[in-house]
Amino acid sequence: QPDIADSFEAYAPVNIALCKYWGKRNAVLNLPVNDSLSISLGNKGTTTRLTRLPGAEKDKVFLNGKPVDGESAFCRKVVAHIDLFRPLGSGALRVETRNDVATGAGLASSASGFAALTKALVGLYGLTLSNEELSIIARLGSGSASRSIYSGFAHWHRGVRPDGMDSFASSLDVIWPELRVGVLTLAESEKPTGSREGMQRTVDSAILYNSWPEQADRDIRRLEHAITVRDFTLLGSTAEQNAMAMHATMLASWPPLLYWQPESVEVLQKVWQVRQDGVQVFATMDAGPNVKVLFESNSEPEMRSVFQSMDVIAPFS
Ligand code: PMV
């Protein structure tokens, strides 16, 4: 039996994929069809504190200070993740989770959320695990959480084993201080199709998806090269093309899956216009309407004046 602490707090950053994870080869273990590569957003993420509740029967979950309904999907996913550790003997827990980015800011909080929860559980139980092991456990909560174990660049290796024990992320261990990620939050829209359902639909119905593994393989190699030689244009153009290719497979699904809103298109066209005017800026999008842009610090003043409502994050500061 491990020596269980009374309370433990952990932090994990949000990450933005430059080569996307889209499609599972095993939906229970969250094993992906393709490798993916991301950049974590430094001090934008999730902090989760776990406290033991001796005598209580059920976990109590709080999100940004407010109690979460025990029947909600969010709560059930959190409890299921804690259940992975429950046989070790913690009993019920109070879970207090806080996101640095406002909900609806277009940053996937499930990635930082499950990475922080995994780190907090491992800390509470006093376990000593490698980052790869943490990444595997976080992956079971949400695939992209496998990458949020790390700061900086992370490469999630899809693995080949049916048990998923070789499907974890590792750190690229490169620092790129000039890199900036801009987050443009667009008008609130109706609840989109979740990534789990969206991936399933794409894999099941889009013939275009057959080309996706090849696209991802090429883009991973390009991104790794771009990061090694610090070629921002190669990094950004690869990330943008990868995101557009992923969204093309969604649109080629049936029923068609389109996460974009009219405002998303407006922002993309502005990005392309600014780039034509000579600013090195590239866009990426995930399973929602918001657009994230990649640029370097020398373009920051210009980018701030073009996109006034943009939240600018320096991943390596
Ligand atoms: O980890 P999930 O199930 O939320 O899926 C994430 C999917 C994308 O955000 C669209 C791509 C990615 O690699 O983060």
Q: What is d(CA 216, CA 100) in angstroms, rounded to the nearest whole number?
A: 30
Determine the pLDDT at residue 90: 83
Cα of 80 vs centre of ligand 1, distance in Å, is: 19
Task: Give yes or no for a contact between 61 and 104, defined as CB atoms under 8 angstroms apart.
Answer: no
What does the pLDDT average to over 132-140? 98
Q: What is d(CA 57, CA 55) in angstroms, rounded to the nearest whole number?
A: 7
Determine the pLDDT at residue 101: 77
Task: Give yes or no for a contact between 195 and 186, defined as CB atoms under 8 angstroms apart.
Answer: no
Q: What is d(CA 275, CA 270) in angstroms, rounded to the nearest whole number?
A: 8
pTM of the model: 0.96
Residue 127 has pLDDT above 90, yes or no: yes
| Side chain identity at residue 9, one-letter code | E
Task: For residue 182, give every residue at least 6 positions away whose Cβ sits within 8 Å of its Cβ, in sequence order, or none.
Answer: 292, 293, 294, 295, 303, 307, 310, 311, 312, 313
Q: Give the nearest ligand 1 atom to 20 CA.
A: 13
Q: What is the ipTM of this complex?
A: 0.99
Ligand 1 pocket: which residues have CB below 6 Å?
Answer: 17, 20-21, 36, 108, 110-111, 142-144, 195-196, 286-287
Cα of 114 vs centre of ligand 1, distance in Å, is: 13
For 214-253, what is each residue's pLDDT tens digit? 999 999 999 999 999 999 999 999 999 999 999 999 999 9
